[in-house]
Amino acid sequence: MTINVNNQPQSISENSSVEHLLEQLNVVANGIAVAINNEIVSRETWKKTFLQQEDQVTIIQATQGG
């Protein structure tokens, strides 16, 4: 199935969780936030939050600065 990750099409397998997506993309979980269709998904639910066809996923990397 196809979803969009940060406005880029991404093919993933059916029944993929947020956690699985991050592993597939080699994204380190520390310091990131994930939103699906503009709704923040808490880190505690990444394993049990499953993606659907055409979902819009946003992965935000926290940065440090002053």
The gap from C-alpha 61 to its chain's centroid, in whole angstroms, comes to 11
The predicted pLDDT at position 65 comes to 63
pLDDT score of 42 more than 90: yes
In single-letter form, the type of residue at position 62 comes to: A
Mean pLDDT of the region 31-53: 97
How far is Cα 48 from Cα 64, in angstroms, rounded to an integer?
30
| Structural domains of the chain in order of their starting residue, each with its CATH number | 2-61 (3.10.20.30)
pLDDT score of 63 more than 80: no
pLDDT score of 37 more than 80: yes
From the CB of residue 33, how many other CB atoms can be counted at a distance below 10 Å? 13
Mean pLDDT of the region 23-29: 93
Confidence of residue 57 (pLDDT cuts 50, 70, 90): very high
